[in-house]
Amino acid sequence: MKRSYGRARRTTDAPAAVGQRIELLLDRLSHDGRGIGRWQGRTTFVEGGLPGERVVGRVIRARSKLIEARVDQLLETSSERQAPQCRHADICGGCTLQHISHDTQIELKQQALAQQLQHFAGITPEHWMPPLLGPSYGYRQRTRLSVRWDQRTGRLQTGYRQSASSELVEIRECPILIPVLEALVKELPEVLQQLKACTGLGHVELIGGDAPAMVVRHIRPLAETDVALLEQLASRHDVDLWLQGETDAIRCAEEGAAASELAYQLDDQNLRFTFAPGDFTQVNAVMNQKMVNQAMDWLDAEARQKVLDLFCGVGNFALPLAQRGAEVTGVEGDARMVERAILNAQNNRLDGVHFCQADLSKPFTNETLDQQYQAALLDPPRDGAEALVAALAERGIGRILYVSCNPATLARDAGILASKGYRLVQAGVMDMFPQTAHVEAMALFVSGKEKNRNGTSQS
């Protein structure tokens, strides 16, 4: 009996059902790396598929005119397909582009940025800048592993979420991690399974940097034998052990041992930043250095110019700006990160920078922001900074450098700035998350009233 996969019929009477297997030919690629084809007249996005491939896809979402699926079987394979380096790639929800060449990944991200700017704002940069590139594997220096007790099997599951599912992929390797963290991943599940309190674990965060760390979130207190097992694991991999119960994470250290702190470096600026578990820091150290260097070049702040750094975190951009002689005000919503930024400025002996806490989802209210700034840098979360860019434009700030992790909200905010007379002078993507569909970008906006260094208007 011939097996049927739901080959396209000349009807559109019933949508596909979630879980159904459908066969179709893919003819193009979406900006997030999914193959696109049609099934029963409906546009179908297939994760893991490439143009020219005939696939059997398993439906994960279905609407009246659009279907989303994931490759279940390859019937005809594209010559462009490459073998993923990770054996979990087919089911893990993290690195969804491993089957696509790195060069093609960059092209997709550039196209995504260009399309979003045109779609939402109707604008194109005056200059497209070359993409910032780094290593395609072995780059990630921070990750969080979910831990779940499976009552049915009596086993502890450790890993990442599956694509389009709440189930876990039990991880035994993760080649995008820096080597010290991937080596830890290979042994971690076995050790966690041995803990008496294995049913009371929350998650495990692995952090690289100057003092690599393993942060174990536990819902119930750990027995001394459990702590000893975790300490032995940490010692074998030369990382610090931090335990997080109901309060902040605490570093485990032998009595009398020197205090160790989480930290990373910007070698080109000779700057060192300390942070705490839970603080936001960039996960790609190589790209972070390149991003900071590019931001300094693009913004080109002069000595004694007043610069506003919004969503400043622990000072990643503010300190390099201050080092160049700018008078920097860094603003961050998390009061504890503001304290860390102040400490980082002190530790790096930088006086020309001031930090304060403010809710950046609302218009400016802090008196510290009432002075006049010549330039601003912002690095907002995925939902962008709609209210902020409007406020910056109203203040007549000459140069605005926007660091984005979401091209759609960047494009929306670019439209606001364009409507206020700002030009999008240059933009480009940054390959912060290779093997994934995440698009990071940088864009420089200049007011029509901004003047060149020789004093003439640029408008």
The string of DSSP codes covering 361-402 is TS----GGGGS--SEEEE---TT--HHHHHHHHHTT-SEEEE
Q: Using an 8 Å Cβ cutoff, are 72 and 57 in contact?
A: yes
pLDDT of residue 259: 54
Contact (Cβ atoms closer than 8 angstroms) between residue 134 and residue 284? yes
pLDDT value of position 1: 40
In whole angstroms, give the CA distance from residue 432 to residue 425.
Answer: 22
The tens place of each residue's pLDDT in the chain, 459 residues long, gives: 444 444 444 445 567 899 999 999 999 999 888 999 999 999 999 999 999 999 999 999 998 889 999 999 999 999 999 999 999 988 887 899 999 999 999 999 999 999 999 999 999 999 999 999 999 999 999 999 999 998 888 899 999 988 767 789 998 899 999 999 999 999 999 999 999 999 999 999 999 999 999 999 999 899 999 999 999 999 999 999 999 988 888 888 765 455 568 999 999 999 999 999 989 999 999 999 999 999 999 999 988 999 999 999 999 999 999 999 999 999 999 999 999 999 999 999 999 899 999 999 877 665 556 678 999 999 999 999 999 999 999 989 999 999 999 999 999 999 999 999 999 999 999 999 999 999 999 999 999 866 544 333 443
SS3 67: strand
d(CA 434, CA 284): 10
Residues 6+ apart with CB under 8 A from 113: 407, 410, 427, 429, 439, 441
CA distance 96 to 92: 8
Give the residue from 113, 132, 130, 30 showing the smallest Cα distance to 411. Answer: 113
Residue 39: its pLDDT value, please?
A: 95
Per-residue pLDDT, 237 = 96
What's residue 458's pLDDT? Answer: 44
* Residue 242 contacts residue 214 (beta carbons within 8 Å): yes
185/182 Cα distance (integer angstroms): 5
pLDDT of the residue at 366: 53
- Structural domains in the chain, CATH included, are 21-81 (2.40.50.140), 104-135+264-447 (3.40.50.150), 142-252 (2.40.50.1070)
Burial-class residue 219 by CB neighbours within 10 Å (0-12, 13-18, 19+): exposed
278 phi/psi in degrees, rounded to 5: 100, -20
Determine which one of 92, 95, 174, 405 is catalytic: 405
Residue 95 bears catalytic tag? no
Q: What is the pLDDT of residues 383-396, one digit of tens each?
A: 999 999 999 999 89
pLDDT at 32: 87
Provide the pLDDT for residue 227: 95
- pTM, two decimals, is 0.90
Instruction: Please name the residue that has the structure tokens 């996969």.
Output: 5
* Confidence at residue 372, expressed as pLDDT on a 0 to 100 scale: 86
pLDDT at 326: 96
pLDDT of 368: 52
